[in-house]
Amino acid sequence: MKKYTVLLVFFTFYSVFAQTRRDFDTLPVVWPDTTAVKTGPLKFVPITGKQFNDIRAFAIANKNAGGVPAPVLKDSKLIVATKNALFELPAGGGYESSYSYIQYVPEIRSHLISRCGEGACSAYLLDHETNGIMYVPSSYDSGVMGFSVSPSGKYFLVYSSYDGPDYADYYTTRSEFMIYSIGQTKGMKGLRLYREFESTEWSIDEMVWLDNSTLALKVYAGNAAVDMEPVQYKYYETVIK
């Protein structure tokens, strides 16, 4: 058994490092649509913390992890392998530019990668087959906080937030989330902005899918950055359709 394990590790290592090296910064960036298909207000219905945690546990248990090689961290470089290319990204945590790997999203066959530098972070989708990249919008310097795909694989959610009530000193809103529909076209090119939401009332701690049309949220109105006492969370669900 040990012999086969060694061989598997060797062939995985060889297949990763035998690919053509590409420069991530020279790839053309695809900018997503900014006009939402669905408009109008959302209704947020209160739920309990236990209900949210049960929904969260179910979502985690049923998450699709995909089947691509995991990124490699070597000599302060993040090495990401796509189907036909290899990307070596600086990952030393430097002020100018440092990359981190968030996760592979199999429903859109793309790697979600974060880049932080000069006090701000941004996120990109890297298509595993075409090597195209798409910018994932966020209004905040901290960048995208989290993402989730609906159970049916029809919607892709990304959310961002500021952590305090003094948001108006820096931004026009306190939190936001965007929902993209995943089209028949494979990869990130099939993404279309379905709905977006902004709030000035609370910050987002976490969001998960309850079902294919309902989201559950964990939010707070306090200041997570400086409060001596833990923030008081509230929990909601909202129907996106």
pLDDT of the chain, 241 residues: tens digit per residue: 444 444 344 344 444 445 688 788 778 777 777 778 888 899 999 999 999 999 999 998 887 767 787 899 988 899 999 998 999 999 977 667 899 999 999 999 999 999 999 889 999 999 999 999 999 999 999 999 999 999 999 999 999 999 989 999 999 999 999 999 998 777 788 899 999 999 999 999 999 999 999 999 999 998 887 766 688 999 999 999 8
pLDDT, position 16: 47
Report the distance separating Cα 65 and Cα 105, nearest Å. Answer: 7
The angle formed by the CA atoms of residues 133, 134 and 139, to the nearest 5 degrees, is 140
Supply the pLDDT for residue 94: 67
Q: What's the pLDDT at 96?
A: 74
224 CA to centre of own chain: 21
Q: What confidence score (pLDDT) does residue 227 get?
A: 66
Indicate yes or no: pTM above 0.75.
yes
What pLDDT score does 231 carry? 86
Four-residue CA torsion sign, 162, 168, 170, 171: positive
pLDDT digits (tens, 9 = 90+) for 17-63: 456 887 887 787 777 777 788 888 999 999 999 999 999 999 988 87
Residue that the structure tokens 């961290």 belong to: 73
How much is the pLDDT for 166?
Answer: 92
Domains in the chain: boundaries? 2-239
Residue 19 confidence (pLDDT): 66
DSSP code of residue 201: S
Contacts 24+ apart (CB under 8 A), 47-53: 47/216, 47/235, 47/236, 47/237, 48/235, 49/218, 49/233, 49/235, 51/216, 51/235, 52/208, 52/216, 52/217, 52/218, 52/235
State the Cα–Cα distance between residues 125 and 113, nearest whole angstrom: 6
The pLDDT value given to residue 196: 94
